[in-house]
Amino acid sequence: MDELLSTVDWSRAQFALTAIVHWLFVPLSIGLSLIVGIMETIYLKTGNERWKRMTKFWMLLFGINFACGVATGIILEFEFGTNWSNYSWFVGDIFGAPLAIEGILAFFLESTFIAVMFFGWNRVSRGFHLTATWLTAAGVCLSAYWILVANAWMQYPVGMEFDPAQMRNIMKSFTEVALSPVAVNKFFHTVLSGWVLGAVFVVGVSSWFLLKKSNVAFAKDSMKIASWVGLAGIVLTIWTGDGSAVQVAKVQPMKLAAMEGLYDGSRGQSLVAFGLLNPDKQRTDSKPAILGEISIPKGLSILANHDADSFVPGINDLINGIAIDEKGDTVNTVSYAERIARGRKAQQALREYDLAMQTGDKTGMAAAAEAIKADFKYFGYGYLESPDEAVPPVALTFYAFRIMVMGGGYLLAFFVMMLLLSYRKPGTLENRWVAFLGLLTIPVVWIVSEAGWVTAEMGRQPWTIEGLLPTRAAVSDISAGSVQLTFWMFVVVFVGLLVAEVGIMTREIAKASKKDILTGE
């Protein structure tokens, strides 16, 4: 058991490392591709060569970042086969479909038109080149969509049925998988947050030019466009974040409870605006969960159900079998102790089915198949030793969620301020404190972005697939030592990749500061 847990822990660490590094590149590609498309559109409409030169500069940085994102994304997909082979077998027919579409359709769309973007200047018409630029941006978003469909399915498994003969899940409805409400909302939330990150990056780099008193006109024009994109992005991200909260309340109530550090729910549940988790709090004791709490009255009920007086279940409520249904009504469901028992019944029925199949007992196979079907929704709970194992890491989920929310509020204020300053009297943006703020916001937006994913992924632990397969049952049958070795190899590779990207980008930015970007002189 110790070896298994070590393998699971190291496999999770390796996947988390790869995903975190990959996500440093993806939202920047999404945001920059939109900003580049807007700038080139202005160039096509005005015919002004300065916009072409601006487009080329930001396009160069987009290309550097895009290449790094592709490299880390390929590694991420291979890890499903190397480290999570049981998971890949159990749901490969379903999970593999959106990944295959992403690779065949979206990736080839991007790679085809990105070549025209970079090498098609003066070789194709302006209109065709602009089309290629926007199709590249669309390809980036389309690629993100299919990846997010796969991720959303892990959070909310739909459109499938279990085939005991194959001992794996098979797809029943591709439409349900591809158009899952969780997937659609996650897609818009993710892409819009990419706009925000790309906009902050452009504002930050432009601030550096202003600090250096280089390419001032270029920097100001870039900041205006980026600030409008960022403001639109953050407003819409907050809106889709509200939709995400509603979806989480419906399909992952335990995640919502962990996000709030909520152990015992109530009607008209307040939302924690500020507070520290009590480190001495145990699930079953009466100690307060939050210290120094400042709350918004009825805020969580409004956020989760859009009903100020609705009931929001806490961790203990859910474990005891009290929840809300899709209509928002309080209902008594199956307690976690009973889910564990029924999950083990389903697993035993699967073993009986396998034995009956080996002996050719069709009657036994039919009976076992019915037993599996009756309790399969609790199949994954059979791997748990106690209900407490189904509780996510509360502290990490609680604080990551607050970093995301508070950071989002800061970014809204940041873009409003930048737009106001952009349209004030000349010289306002050149203020050193404003420029420093623009630079310092670059790491802030990445921290906020990563915190969102930590909330989403840690909040669904211990599940690889919500309710069906815990991480301990999804891992490959490999030694912990081999995973440790590859983990540290990836650390070295990723550090090298990050150093290379930052080095190349800063070199190109430094080169640009020594000339006039708008004239090329």
Q: Using CA atoms, how far apart are residues 324 and 267, in angstroms rounded to an integer? A: 11
Query: How many of the other CB atoms lie within 10 Å of CB of 139?
Result: 21
Residue 424 · residue 493 · CB < 8 Å: no
Residue 7 · residue 478 · CB < 8 Å: yes
Q: Mind listing the pLDDT tens digit for each residue in 257-297? A: 999 999 998 888 999 888 899 888 888 888 888 888 888 99
Q: What is the rounded average pLDDT for all residues in the chain?
A: 88
Give the CB-side neighbour count of residue 217, counting CA atoms within 13 A. Answer: 9
Task: Please determine, for residue 426, whether its predicted confidence score (pLDDT) is greater than 80.
Answer: no
Task: Please determine, for residue 56, whether its predicted confidence score (pLDDT) is greater than 70.
Answer: yes
Q: CA angle, corner 455, sides to 449 and 458, nearest 5?
A: 130
Q: Residue 291: beta bridge partners?
A: 276
Task: Please determine, for residue 454, whether its predicted confidence score (pLDDT) is greater than 80.
Answer: yes
Report, as an integer, the average pLDDT of 447-467. 92
Task: Please determine, for residue 441, whether its predicted confidence score (pLDDT) is greater than 90.
Answer: yes
The DSSP annotation for 166-210 comes to TTEEEES-HHHHHT-HHHHHHHHHHHHHHHHHHHHHHHHHHHHHH
Q: Mind listing the pLDDT tens digit for each residue in 324-355? A: 665 656 656 789 999 999 999 999 999 999 99
Q: Which amino acid is at 237?
A: T
Residue 290 · residue 277 · CB < 8 Å: yes
Give the confidence band of 512 by pLDDT, cuts at 50, 70, 90. Answer: confident
pTM: 0.92
Give the confidence band of 82 by pLDDT, cuts at 50, 70, 90. Answer: confident
| pLDDT for position 81 | 80
Q: What are phi and psi of 311, to 5 degrees?
A: -85, 135
Task: Please determine, for residue 4, whether its predicted confidence score (pLDDT) is greater than 60.
Answer: no
Q: Mind listing the pLDDT tens digit for each residue in 8-54? A: 888 888 989 888 988 889 999 999 999 999 999 999 999 888 999 99
Higher pLDDT: 81 or 411? It is 411
| pLDDT for position 424 | 78
Q: What are phi and psi of 83, to 5 degrees?
A: -105, -20
Q: Mind listing the pLDDT tens digit for each residue in 103-125? A: 777 667 777 888 888 888 888 99
| pLDDT for position 480 | 84
Identify the H or E element spanning 3: helix 2-46
Query: How many of the other CB atoms lie within 10 Å of CB of 161?
Result: 11
Q: Mind listing the pLDDT tens digit for each residue in 155-202? A: 999 999 988 888 888 899 999 999 999 999 999 999 999 999 999 999
Give the confidence band of 69 by pLDDT, cuts at 50, 70, 90. Answer: confident
3-state secondary structure of 312: strand
Q: What are phi and psi of 328, to 5 degrees?
A: 90, 10
| pLDDT for position 434 | 85
Q: Mind listing the pLDDT tens digit for each residue in 196-219? A: 999 999 999 999 999 888 888 888
Angle between helices 480-513 and 49-82 (to 10 degrees): 170
Give the confidence band of 361 by pLDDT, cuts at 50, 70, 90. Answer: confident
Q: Residue 437: beta bridge partners?
A: none
Q: What number of residues does the chain have?
A: 521
Q: Using CA atoms, how far apart are residues 487 and 11, in angstroms rounded to an integer? A: 8
For residue 269 the two structure tokens come to 């549940």
The answer to whether the bond into 462 is cis (omega within 30° of 0) is yes
Q: Using CA atoms, how far apart are residues 324 and 182, in angstroms rounded to an integer? A: 18
